[in-house]
Amino acid sequence: MTSTKPPAPSFRPAVSGPPQIRCARCGRRVPASSSGCPEHRPLKRPEDALIDLSSSVPDEMPTFPGYKTLRCLGKGGFGTIYEAEMLRSGEHVAIKLARTDEALAAIHLRKEAKALAEIGPPYVPALFGTGELDDRSPFIVMERLTAPTLAKRMISGETFRQAEVFAIMQRILTALDAIHARGWVHRDIKPENIVVEDASAKIIDFGLARRASLQASMTTVAALLGTAEYMSPEQCSGMGDIDARSDIYAIGVILYEMLAGRPPFWGPRALVQQHHISRRPPRLAALALVPAPVEEVVLQCLAKDRRDRFDNVAALSNAIDAAVGAPSARMSLTPALGVSRVLDDIAPPSSSVSRERRRAGLIFFESSVDTEVVEKRVLMLGGQLAHASAPRYVAIYSHEVGENPAKRALRAAHDLVKHGVCERAVIDLAHVSIQTRADGSPRFISALFFRSDRFPHAGDPEGVFLAPTAAQELPGTEGAELPGRKWLHLGHAPSSSGLLRDVADDSTGSLLGRRDVLDGLLESARETARESVPCVLGVVAEEGCGKTHLARVTLARIRAEMPRATVLDLRARELLGGEEAPSTRELLSRWLDLPATAPSDGGSALL
């Protein structure tokens, strides 16, 4: 099959859909046509704050014998994809043409054709034929897929509930299992290469795929190809023997992103690859209300050593089913990737769902911030958004997130005020009806959510208030009673108080096995204060093991226990490649109050 190809084409932005960008601060995907990330806009310097994920496509289109080329669908690393109409039948197909500006493009495209032929539908697009243009540039003719990619769904504003995340993931795993069973490793699994249909999923773009039976014969350069955010540590290291567990790592990244709204690592390619190799991913529980069994599954997928990951896709699929069915997971299946814009707080209960009443801590507040940002902050603080009717919101804290929901709500309210989510917040305790929907997600119902007298007004003082029932649960809390409301006005969170002590105490619960180290550090600090002698402590661990978090908790505890002590928190900046560490020199300069330049006597007088 031959045809002619037009002269060297010019290039312009893709026309097949909105290009995607990723916020450099929070890592979320947003359309390039938007004004930026909902949480971090307006962006003063968008060229620095956004990482462009879009590509360009040729302005002119080639012709293929027997087909009418309709439009360009997009451009990948090794090929450009066109939509075409088969002249004989009128059927629409997708034609992928190897790029002439990439030396390995033809090799990768022929390998993709072989993979599609051996795997076959419904797990991958159907392969209809192959051919070459007059300049011997190969092309393949495939099934034209009309369903959206997972990446497109991620930026469309669609809300994923966790139950839906797992349902979609099982469809993806079915396709991936078939690919592995036929002896192939994809090596470029990412949302852009997954097409999600109603009852199934197809995996596309096999340009980097390889036969699993091939051992370490591929080059280091080939191993480093891929999309940095979804590459496994062994890919980032340039290992040649990439196997199916590399795809499982990529699945873990996708699961993480669907649940948290961002991948574990993003940014410059070299930095992301280094993080995959050496840095521990941030805990999912700090970004979304994810059940512990589910987080364990994701973290096992993301294990640095592939021997610690699931051996195969079937094992991962079974682990997801077990984690979702675990008792601790059933009450935590909350929305992921943002908040639903339509909250059905007052809809009549369905007979097909369970319902219970529970006493919970509530935060009533008004906010002009975007609803999605409000919900994300509430989730990060361990709560859930029970009611959203902008500008009024209610956050809920039940016993699932702590022994004292009033204390948790109080801490969260101070945080919301401090970070500008709201100017005033009222803490209350009340019974709330909780329905469990068919998909496992909770729905909170209370007439209090619609009573204006429960919300602070613009004329009230700024800060946090305690309703009488909440004040009874927090004895010893000091504040001034608000006339006519019987609310206790606490104002803003003090820098050193019992509240801070509670924060520090609760922080130790997330150290996960570091409590003995923390106790040793605190005892050394106490001894230093008692004996008035200097003390230097060192904590040695691999990168990503939690030293920064341990330091943060230790400092909070020291400040809480010794409010009169002066605690200096000095942190070394991250070094660039080959740069000498200046930390010791800077510490000595600060503590000894040394001059900026060396004195003539070499510093002997100072000593």
- Asked whether residue 583 carries a pLDDT value surpassing 80, the answer given is no
Catalytic, 188? Answer yes
- Asked whether residue 356 carries a pLDDT value surpassing 60, the answer given is yes
Strand, coil or helix: 82: strand
- Asked whether residue 596 carries a pLDDT value surpassing 50, the answer given is yes
User: Is residue 379, in this structure, part of any structural domain at all?
Assistant: yes
Average pLDDT over residues 352-371: 81
> Which structural domain range is residue 125 located in?
11-19+54-143
What confidence score (pLDDT) does residue 204 get?
96
What CATH number is given to the structural domain containing 123?
3.30.200.20
- Asked whether residue 498 carries a pLDDT value surpassing 90, the answer given is no
559 or 598, which is more confident?
559
What confidence score (pLDDT) does residue 134 get?
85
- Asked whether residue 522 carries a pLDDT value surpassing 70, the answer given is yes
What confidence score (pLDDT) does residue 511 get?
53
Minimum mean pLDDT range among 159-168, 408-417, 541-550: 541-550
Together in a domain, 446 and 485: yes
Average pLDDT over residues 224-245: 88
What confidence score (pLDDT) does residue 438 get?
62
Of the pLDDT bands very low, low, confident and very high (cuts 50, 70, 90), residue 78 is confident
Average pLDDT over residues 451-471: 91
User: Is residue 380, in this structure, part of any structural domain at all?
Assistant: yes
> Domain total for the chain?
5
What confidence score (pLDDT) does residue 440 get?
63
Determine the Cα–Cα distance for residues 142 and 323; give it in Å rounded to an integer.
37
Most confident of 307-311, 431-435, 534-538, 551-555: 307-311
What confidence score (pLDDT) does residue 486 get?
85
Determine the Cα–Cα distance for residues 319 and 311; give it in Å rounded to an integer.
12
What confidence score (pLDDT) does residue 541 get?
61
- Asked whether residue 505 carries a pLDDT value surpassing 50, the answer given is no
Together in a domain, 516 and 408: no
pLDDT tens digits, 176-196: 999 999 999 999 999 999 999
pLDDT tens digits, 310-335: 999 999 999 999 998 765 554 444 44
pLDDT tens digits, 132-178: 998 889 999 999 999 999 999 888 555 578 888 999 999 999 999 99
What confidence score (pLDDT) does residue 567 get?
75
Determine the Cα–Cα distance for residues 383 and 389; give it in Å rounded to an integer.
17
Of the pLDDT bands very low, low, confident and very high (cuts 50, 70, 90), residue 46 is very low
Together in a domain, 329 and 378: no
Share of the chain above pLDDT 70, in %: 71
**Of 309, 335, 361, at which residue does a domain stop?**
335
Residue 79: beta bridge partners?
A: 98
Q: Are 236 and 277 in contact (CB under 8 A)?
A: yes
Most confident of 12-26, 72-86, 114-128, 546-560: 114-128
What confidence score (pLDDT) does residue 172 get?
97
pTM across the whole model: 0.56
pLDDT tens digits, 51-74: 444 444 455 789 999 999 999 998
User: Is residue 348, in this structure, part of any structural domain at all?
Assistant: no
- Asked whether residue 205 carries a pLDDT value surpassing 80, the answer given is yes
Q: Are 40 and 102 in contact (CB under 8 A)?
A: no
Determine the Cα–Cα distance for residues 548 and 557; give it in Å rounded to an integer.
14
End-to-end distance of the chain based on CA atoms, in angstroms? Answer: 85
pLDDT tens digits, 250-259: 999 999 999 9
What CATH number is given to the structural domain containing 412?
3.30.70.1230
User: Is residue 35, in this structure, part of any structural domain at all?
Assistant: no
Together in a domain, 565 and 584: no
Residue 22: beta bridge partners?
A: 29, 51
Together in a domain, 168 and 303: yes
Together in a domain, 365 and 310: no
What confidence score (pLDDT) does residue 220 get?
45
Together in a domain, 325 and 189: yes
Together in a domain, 156 and 302: yes
- Asked whether residue 286 carries a pLDDT value surpassing 90, the answer given is no
pLDDT tens digits, 301-313: 999 999 999 999 9
What confidence score (pLDDT) does residue 308 get?
94
Which residues, at least 6 apart from 395, have a Cβ–Cβ distance to it below 8 Å? 362, 363, 365, 378, 381, 383, 384, 385, 386, 409, 412, 416
Together in a domain, 231 and 194: yes
Of the pLDDT bands very low, low, confident and very high (cuts 50, 70, 90), residue 20 is low
**Of 489, 524, 543, at which residue does a domain stop?**
489
- Asked whether residue 545 carries a pLDDT value surpassing 70, the answer given is no
Average pLDDT, the chain: 78
Q: How many CA atoms lie within 13 A of 481 on its CB side?
A: 6
User: Is residue 362, in this structure, part of any structural domain at all?
Assistant: yes
Average pLDDT over residues 508-528: 69
What CATH number is given to the structural domain containing 270?
1.10.510.10
338 or 359, which is more confident?
359
Average pLDDT over residues 365-379: 86
Determine the Cα–Cα distance for residues 369 and 38; give it in Å rounded to an integer.
9
What confidence score (pLDDT) does residue 74 get?
85
- Asked whether residue 423 carries a pLDDT value surpassing 80, the answer given is yes
Determine the Cα–Cα distance for residues 521 and 555; give it in Å rounded to an integer.
10
Average pLDDT over residues 209-226: 63
- Asked whether residue 546 carries a pLDDT value surpassing 90, the answer given is no
What confidence score (pLDDT) does residue 82 get?
95
| Alpha carbon distances (Å) from 16 to 12, 19, 158, 245, 577 | 12, 9, 19, 33, 40
User: Is residue 29, in this structure, part of any structural domain at all?
Assistant: no
Average pLDDT over residues 330-355: 40
Together in a domain, 322 and 365: no
User: Is residue 32, in this structure, part of any structural domain at all?
Assistant: no
- Asked whether residue 217 carries a pLDDT value surpassing 50, the answer given is no
Average pLDDT over residues 538-552: 67
Task: Classify residue 183 as exposed, middle or buried by CB count within 10 Å of its CB (0-12, 13-18, 19+).
Answer: middle
- Asked whether residue 44 carries a pLDDT value surpassing 60, the answer given is no
Of the pLDDT bands very low, low, confident and very high (cuts 50, 70, 90), residue 442 is confident
Which residues, at least 6 apart from 41, have a Cβ–Cβ distance to it below 8 Å? 35
Give the helix/strand (H/E) hosting 359: strand 354-366
- Calculate ∠ Cα 94-99-100, nearest 5°: 145
435 or 591, which is more confident?
435
What confidence score (pLDDT) does residue 381 get?
82
User: Is residue 199, in this structure, part of any structural domain at all?
Assistant: yes
**Of 284, 302, 335, at which residue does a domain stop?**
335
Average pLDDT over residues 414-425: 91
Together in a domain, 108 and 138: yes
531 or 461, which is more confident?
461
Most confident of 46-55, 248-257, 542-551, 556-565: 248-257
Q: Please pick, among 59, 134, 188, 505, the residue that the annotation labels catalytic.
A: 188
Together in a domain, 367 and 481: yes
